[in-house]
């Protein structure tokens, strides 16, 4: 896939996220942050696992010399 393809894919994710959040707010259904909060109540390790995932991606993308 070209760089333009990846860029368009990321823009599509951002636009769809905005659409879903707007729809959730208009229909009084849970937003993404509310869903994550409730999931964290049920599974308390979720924030830690999210941090490990983000840290792993940061190392993968930006750690030079490997």
Report the domain count for the chain: 1
Neighbours of 33 (CB within 10 A): 10
- Widest Cα–Cα separation across the chain: 49
pLDDT at 18 over 80: yes
Distance CA(16)–CA(4), nearest Å, equals: 18
**What's the average model confidence in pLDDT over 3-9?**
90
Give the pLDDT band (50/70/90) at residue 65.
low
pLDDT (tens digit per residue) in 21-60: 999 999 999 999 999 999 999 999 999 999 999 999 999 9
Q: Which domain holds residue 37?
A: 3-62
Residue 43: both structure tokens together: 């599974």
């Amino acid at each position: 896939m070209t760089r333009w393809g990846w860029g368009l894919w990321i823009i599509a994710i951002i636009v769809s996220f905005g659409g879903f959040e707007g729809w959730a707010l208009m229909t009084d259904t849970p937003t993404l942050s509310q869903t994550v909060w409730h999931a964290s109540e049920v599974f308390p390790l979720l924030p830690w696992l999210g941090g490990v995932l983000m840290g792993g991606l940061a190392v993968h993308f930006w750690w030079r010399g490997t």
